Amino acid sequence: MSSYRLDRTAFKAQTAEEASNHAAYYKKLTWQERLRIANYLNSIAYNYPENEPPRLDRTVFKIRSRK
C-alpha cells in the first residue's frame, strides 16, 4: 500500500516544546514535497489508495440561481 515505514531507530530525546516544533522541518521542504505529504496524510485519513483519490459525486449538488 505505501512505501512509508516507521523507523524505530530514529529517536531523539527532546522536550515537548522541541517535539512540537514541526514548522522548522516543513519550511525546509519544497512545495512539491509538502503537497506529496499532504496527499499521503489525506489518503490515510480518508482511507483511499494514495494515488487514486475518490471522485466528487456531482449528483449530490443542485444548481439554482439566486434572486
Q: Residue 40 in contact with residue 4, Cβ under 8 Å?
A: yes
Q: What is the pLDDT of residues 25-57, one digit of tens each?
A: 889 999 999 999 999 999 999 999 988 888 888
Rounded CA-CA distance 7/40 in Å is: 17
Whether residue 33 is contained in a domain is answered as yes
Boundaries of domain holding 30: 16-45
Domain assignment present for residue 20? The answer is yes
Per-residue confidence (pLDDT) for residue 2, from 0 to 100:
63
* Domain count for the chain: 1
Q: In the 8-state DSSP scheme, what is residue 51?
A: T
Percent above pLDDT 70 for the chain: 97
The letter for the amino acid at 46 is Y
Please report whether residue 41 resides in a domain.
Answer: yes
Q: Is 59 helix (H, G, I), strand (E, B) or coil?
A: coil
Task: Choose between 40 and 22: higher pLDDT.
Answer: 40
Q: Are 2 and 50 in contact (CB under 8 A)?
A: yes
**Nearest CA-CA partner of 42 in 51, 31, 29:** 51
Q: What percent of the chain has pLDDT over 90?
A: 33
